C-alpha cells in the first residue's frame, strides 16, 4: 500500500463531505421561505415533483445541480440555474425530467437556465429519451433579457428544438404546474401532450396586467388562462389535473404505454462488481494534482471483476487504452497514465502528458471501438501535450490533431470522467465538453482550465511586467510577485470543479463511487439511439 494512502483518503473524503454540504445547500433552491410559500399554495417544489414522478428506489442521476453557482450574485443568485434536470425511470422507462424551480425568481429564465434547458434537450435528442417538462416559470428573467432572448443558444432555441424533437419521434410531455407566461407558454404546447393543474396552473401569452394595459380588457388570470379555460374553451391543454400529484400520476400513465423503439445494440452481459474495493480510490488518488500514481489502479476499481484487456500496453504508455465492462456494458477505455513511464528506448515520459506515440495509439484504439460498436470512456487526468523541440520536431501537433480527429468523428457514444487535471488541449483530445460526450462529469478532485494557476500566472505576469516596463514603469521583484499573486488567485478560483459545473462545462460533480452508475445509465440511454452515421475520419493527419 502507498505510504500516502491514509493521507489521500482523508483528503478525498473531506472533498466529498464538502460536496455533500454544497449539494444540501443547493437543494434548497431559492430558500426555505419560498418553499413554504409554494406548499401554502398547495404546490410541490420542483425536486418534490421529480421525486414523486420517478420510480422509487430506482437509479437516478442529476444534471447540473451546481449550475449558476456563485453567478448572478447581484440578482440574488440562481441556484441550479433555476431548473432541476434528472435522468431516471418512470414505470421502468428511462426518461429525462426538466422541472422549473419556482422558488428561484418564480422560475424565470436566466441565461444559464437556457443553457441548462438546451443541454437537457440535447441529451434527449442524442439518446432519443422521452423528455418530461414540469413547467412553472415566469418566462424570461427580464433584467437580463439581452442575454437570453434572441440568439441561437437563447430561449427561442428551446421551441425550435421542441419542434425538431417532435419530428424525430421523441416523446415530449408537459405539465403546466404553475405560471407559464409569455414565451414560456409555447414550450408545453409544443410538446406532444400537455396537462394543466386546476387552480395553480395558468398559461397565457400576456397576464391580466398586460392585457389591461394593452387592450383595456379587465380579466383575472384564472379566466384568462387557467385549467378550465384551456381544457374546455381553448383546447390548448389536453388533460386537467386536480393537483400536482394527480398531474404526475397522469404522466406516469402516459409514459407507461410508450412502445419500444429500435436499439443501438451495445454489448451487455450480466454485471459484476469490481473485484477490488472501489473505496480504495479515495486512498489511491493523490492529494496534490502534480503527484504521480498508477491510473491502472483506479481503472481496476471501476470495471467489472477488475478485468481490463490492455491494447498496445507497452507502446505509448502515457495513455492507457483497453477493453473492459462497466455494469455489464462493453466499453473501450482511454485514460491518462499518471505515473512516470520509462520506454524501451530508455526515455522517461511524464505522467498525465500526451506524447506522439500515445496519441497515435489512442487514435487507432478509438477507430477500433468505432469499428466494433463499443462505447468509449475517457478518464481524464491530463496536463496537456508534450512541449519542447524534441516533441515539436517529432510532429506532436499532427499526432495530437489525429487523436482530436478520431474523438470528434467517433460515432459511438463517448463518456468523460475528469478525475484530476483537465488542462489545455489535453481536455480537447480526451473528449472535453466541446467534443460531444454524452455525459461528462468530474470527481471533486478535478481541476479544469487552459493551464494551471501557477503556469498561467507565470506567463501572464511576464507579459504584464513587460508591458508595464514598455510604458516606462519600474517593475521590481515586489511588483512582479504582486502581479503573480493576483493572477494566480484568479486562476485558482477558476480551476475549481465548481466553477466548471456552474457553467455546465461538466454535467455534474460526483462521488467517485457513483462513476459506474453514471456510465451505465449513460450507455443505457445511448442504447435507445441507433447509430445512423458511418465512421469516417476524413483527411487523416499522418
Ligand atoms: C420568451 C419571451 C418571448 C418572452 C418572455 O418570457 S417575457 C417574460 C414575461 N413574464 C412575465 O411578465 C411574468 C412576470 N411575473 C409574474 O407575473 C409573477 O411573478 C408570476 C405570476 C409569474 C409569479 O407570481 P408569484 O407571486 O408566485 O411570484 P412573485 O413574487 O411575483 O415573483 C418572485 C420573484 O421573482 C421575480 N420575477 C418574477 N417574474 C420575473 C421575470 N419575468 N423577470 C424577472 N424577475 C421576475 C419577482 O420580481 C420576485 O422577485 P423578488 O423575490 O426579488 O421580489
Backbone angles phi, psi at 522, to 5 degrees: -65, -45
Q: Span 15-19, mean pLDDT? A: 98
Residue 204: band (very low, low, confident or very high) from pLDDT cuts 50, 70, 90: very high
The per-residue pLDDT for range 226-256, each reduced to its tens digit, is 999 999 999 999 999 999 999 999 999 999 9
| d(C-alpha 386, C-alpha 394), whole Å | 10
**Phi and psi at residue 183, to the nearest 5°:** -55, -35
User: Which residues does 495 contact at the CB level (< 8 Å), separation at least 6?
Assistant: 447, 448, 449, 452, 453
Q: Decide: 386 in ligand 1 pocket, CB within 6 A.
A: no
Q: What's the mean pLDDT in 141-146?
A: 95
Q: Which of 287, 278, 260 is nearest to 517 (CA)?
A: 278
Separation of 173 CA from ligand 1 center, angstroms? 24
The ligand 1 atom nearest the CA atom of 148: 1
Element (H, E) at 239: strand 239-241
Rounded Cα distance between 386 and 369, Å, is 25
Residue 274 has pLDDT above 80, yes or no: yes
Position 489 scores a pLDDT of 87
Query: What was the pLDDT predicted at 464?
Result: 80
Helix axes 477-494, 453-470, angle to 10 degrees: 140
- How much distance in Å is there from the Cα of 24 to the middle of ligand 1? 26
CA of 105 to the centre of ligand 1 (A): 6
Q: Which residue would you say has higher pLDDT here, 123 or 182? A: 123
> CA torsion 28→31→32→33, rounded to 10°?
-160
Closest approach atom of ligand 1 to CA 209: 17
Closest-CA residue, ligand 1 atom 11, reads 138
Other Cβ atoms within 10 Å of 270 Cβ, number: 8
d(CA 320, CA 440): 19
Alpha-carbon span 143 to 299, nearest angstrom: 47
Q: For ligand 1, what atom is nearest to the CA of residue 140?
A: 6
Q: Is the CB of 181 under 6 A from ligand 1?
A: yes
CATH 1.10.10.10 fits 31-256, yes or no: no
Quote the pLDDT of residue 427.
97
Sign of CA dihedral 335, 336, 341, 346: positive
Task: Answer yes or no: is the C-beta of 207 below 6 A from any ligand 1 atom.
Answer: yes
148 lines ligand 1 (CB under 6 A): no
Q: How far apart are alpha carbons 191 and 172 in whole angstroms?
A: 5
Helices (H), 148-240: 156-168, 186-189, 208-215, 221-225, 227-228
- Distances in Å between the alpha carbon of 283 and those of 78, 245, 319, 345? 35, 44, 22, 33
Give me ligand 1 centre to Cα 308, in Å. 54
338-374 pLDDT, tens digit per residue, is 999 888 888 888 889 999 999 999 999 999 999 999 9
Query: Which of 104, 105, 158, 212 to mutate to test ligand 1, by most ligand atoms within 8 A of the CB atom?
Result: 105
What's the CATH number for 1-28+264-446+506-541?
3.90.226.10
Rg for the chain, CA atoms, rounded: 25
Task: Quote the cell numbers at residue 355.
Answer: 506524447
User: What confidence score (pLDDT) does residue 1 get?
Assistant: 64
Q: Which of 76, 108, 147, 224 to mutate to test the pocket of ligand 1 (most atoms within 8 A of CB)?
A: 108
Q: Is 140's C-beta closer than 6 angstroms to any atom of ligand 1? A: yes
Residue 536, Cβ density class (10 Å: 0-12 exposed, 13-18 middle, ≥19 buried) = exposed
Contacts of 94 (CB under 8 A, 6+ apart): 87, 88, 129, 521, 524, 525, 528
Distance, CA of 458 to CA of 447 (rounded, Å): 18
Q: Note the Cα 165 to chain centre separation in Å.
A: 20
Per-residue pLDDT, averaged over 404-426, amounts to 97
pLDDT of residue 541: 86
Does the beta carbon of 185 sit less than 6 angstroms from any atom of ligand 1?
no
Q: Residues 311, 366: contact at Cβ < 8 Å? A: no
**ipTM score of complex:** 0.98
Instruction: Return the ∠ at Cα 88 (arms to 186 and 37), rounded to 5°.
Output: 60
Report the SS3 class of residue 216. Answer: coil
DSSP symbol at 126: H
Burial of 501 (0-12, 13-18, 19+ CB in 10 A): buried
Determine contact, residues 62/50, Cβ cutoff 8 Å.
no
| 265 pLDDT higher than 80 | yes
Q: Is the CB of 426 under 6 A from ligand 1?
A: no
Look-up of cell digits 507497452 = 314
- Dihedrals φ, ψ of 29, to 5°? 55, -125
> In this structure, which residue's CA is closest to atom 47 in ligand 1?
105
What does the mean pLDDT of the chain come to?
95
Please compute the mean of the pLDDT values over residues 272-282 and round it to a whole number.
Answer: 98
Report the percentage of the chain scoring pLDDT > 90.
84
Within 8 A by CB and 6+ apart from 535, the residues are: 367, 370, 371, 409, 410, 411
Greater confidence, 93 or 455?
93
Ligand 1 geometric centre to CA of 41 (Å): 16
Residue 183: pLDDT above 80?
no
Cβ of 106 less than 6 Å from ligand 1: yes
Q: How confident is the model at residue 209 (pLDDT cuts 50, 70, 90)?
A: confident
Quick: pLDDT tens for 36-51. 999 999 999 999 999 9
User: Is the per-residue pLDDT at 327 higher than 80?
Assistant: yes
Q: pLDDT tens digit string along 463-485?
A: 888 888 888 887 788 888 888 88
Nearest CA to ligand 1 atom 48: 105
- Does the CB atom of residue 154 touch ligand 1 within 6 A? no
Ligand 1 atom closest to 179 (CA): 22
Question: Does the fold of domain 31-256 match that of domain 1-28+264-446+506-541?
Answer: yes
Asked whether the beta carbons of 298 and 340 are under 8 A apart, the reply is no
**419 pLDDT band (50/70/90 cuts)?**
very high
Q: How many other CB atoms are there within 10 angstroms of residue 484's CB atom? A: 18
Taking residue 421's Cβ as centre, other Cβ atoms within 10 Å add up to: 25
Q: Residue 476: its pLDDT value, please? A: 82
Which atom of ligand 1 has the smallest separation from the CA of 102? Answer: 27
In ligand 1, the atom with minimum distance to the C-alpha of 145 is 7
Q: What is the pLDDT of residue 59?
A: 97
Distance from the alpha carbon of residue 148 to the mean position of ligand 1, in angstroms: 15
Domain boundaries, the chain: 1-28+264-446+506-541, 31-256, 452-495
Choose among 162, 134, 115, 349: nearest CA to 244: 134
Is there a contact between 8 and 287 (Cβ–Cβ < 8 Å)? Answer: yes
| Number of the ligand 1 atom closest to the C-alpha atom of 221 | 21
The whole-number average pLDDT for the span 376-383 is 97
For the record, the C-alpha cell of 538 comes out as 476524413
Give residue 323 CA to ligand 1 midpoint distance, Å. Answer: 52
Is pLDDT at 446 greater than 90 in this prediction?
A: yes
Nearest CA to 173 out of 225, 109, 241 is that of 241
CA of 139 to the centre of ligand 1 (A): 7
pTM confidence score: 0.96
Is 326 touching ligand 1 by the criterion CB < 6 Å? no
Question: Which ligand 1 atom sits closest to the C-alpha of 206?
Answer: 12
Q: Which residue has its alpha carbon closest to ligand 1 atom 23?
A: 106
Amino acid at each position: 500500500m502507498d505510504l500516502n494512502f491514509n493521507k489521500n483518503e482523508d483528503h478525498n473524503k473531506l472533498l466529498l463531505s464538502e460536496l455533500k454540504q454544497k449539494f444540501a445547500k443547493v437543494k434548497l433552491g431559492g430558500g426555505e421561505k419560498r418553499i413554504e410559500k409554494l406548499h401554502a399554495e398547495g404546490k410541490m417544489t420542483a425536486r418534490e415533483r421529480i421525486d414523486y414522478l420517478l420510480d422509487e428506489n430506482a437509479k437516478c442521476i442529476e444534471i447540473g445541480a451546481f449550475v449558476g453557482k456563485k453567478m448572478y450574485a447581484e440578482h440574488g443568485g440562481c441556484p441550479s440555474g433555476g431548473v432541476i434536470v434528472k435522468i431516471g425511470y418512470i414505470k421502468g422507462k428511462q426518461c429525462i425530467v426538466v422541472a422549473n424551480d419556482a422558488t428561484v425568481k418564480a422560475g424565470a429564465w436566466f441565461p444559464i437556465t437556457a443553457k441548462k434547458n438546451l443541454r437537457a434537450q440535447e441529451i434527449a435528442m442524442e439518446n432519443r429519451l422521452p423528455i418530461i417538462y414540469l413547467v412553472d416559470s415566469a418566462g424570461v428573467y427580464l433584467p437580463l433579457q439581452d442575454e437570453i432572448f434572441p440568439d441561437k443558444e437563447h430561449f427561442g432555441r428551446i421551441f425550435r428544438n421542441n419542434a425538431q424533437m417532435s419530428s424525430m419521434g421523441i416523446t415530449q410531455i408537459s405539465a403546466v404546474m404553475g405560471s407559464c407566461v409569455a414565451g414560456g407558454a409555447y414550450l408545453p404546447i409544443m410538446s406532444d401532450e400537455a396537462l394543466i393543474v386546476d387552480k395553480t396552473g395558468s398559461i397565457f401569452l400576456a397576464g391580466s396586467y398586460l392585457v389591461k394595459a394593452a387592450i383595456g380588457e379587465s380579466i383575472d388570470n384564472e379566466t384568462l388562462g387557467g385549467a378550465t379555460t384551456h381544457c374546455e374553451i381553448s383546447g390548448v391543454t389536453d388533460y386537467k389535473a386536480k393537483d400536482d400529484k394527480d398531474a404526475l400520476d397522469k404522466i406516469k400513465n402516459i409514459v407507461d404505454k410508450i412502445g419500444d423503439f429500435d436499439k443501438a445494440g451495445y454489448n451487455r452481459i450480466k454485471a459484476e462488481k469490481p473485484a477490488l474495493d472501489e473505496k480504495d480510490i479515495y486512498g489511491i488518488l493523490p492529494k496534490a494534482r502534480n503527484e504521480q500514481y498508477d491510473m491502472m489502479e483506479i481503472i481496476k476499481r471501476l470495471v467489472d471483476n477488475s478485468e481490463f484487456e490492455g491494447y498496445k500496453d507497452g507502446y505509448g504508455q502515457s495513455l492507457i487504452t483497453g477493453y473492459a465492462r462497466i455494469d455489464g456494458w462493453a466499453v473501450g477505455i482511454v485514460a491518462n497514465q499518471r505515473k512516470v513511464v520509462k520506454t524501451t528506448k530508455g526515455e522517461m515520459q511524464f505522467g498525465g502528458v500526451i506524447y506522439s506515440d500515445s496519441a497515435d495509439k489512442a487514435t487507432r484504439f478509438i477507430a477500433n471501438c468505432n469499428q466494433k460498436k463499443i462505447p468509449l470512456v475517457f478518464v481524464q487526468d491530463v496536463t496537456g501535450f508534450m512541449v519542447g523541440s524534441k516533441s515539436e520536431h517529432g510532429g506532436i501537433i499532427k499526432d495530437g490533431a489525429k487523436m482530436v480527429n478520431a474523438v470528434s468523428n467517433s460515432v459511438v457514444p463517448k463518456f468523460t470522467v475528469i478525475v484530476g487535471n483537465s488542462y489545455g488541449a489535453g481536455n480537447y483530445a480526451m473528449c472535453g465538453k466541446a467534443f460531444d460526450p454524452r455525459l461528462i462529469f468530474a470527481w471533486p478532485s478535478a481541476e479544469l482550465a487552459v493551464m494551471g494557476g501557477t503556469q498561467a500566472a507565470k506567463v501572464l505576469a511576464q507579459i504584464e511586467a513587460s508591458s508595464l516596463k514598455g510604458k516606462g514603469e519600474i517593475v521590481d521583484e515586489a511588483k512582479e510577485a504582486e502581479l503573480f499573486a493576483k493572477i494566480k488567485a484568479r486562476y485558482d478560483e477558476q480551476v475549481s470543479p465548481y466553477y466548471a459545473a456552474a457553467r455546465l462545462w461538466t454535467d455534474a460533480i460526483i462521488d467517485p463511487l457513483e462513476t459506474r452508475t453514471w456510465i451505465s445509465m449513460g450507455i443505457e440511454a445511448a442504447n435507445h439511439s441507433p447509430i445512423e452515421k458511418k465512421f469516417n475520419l476524413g483527411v487523416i493527419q499522418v
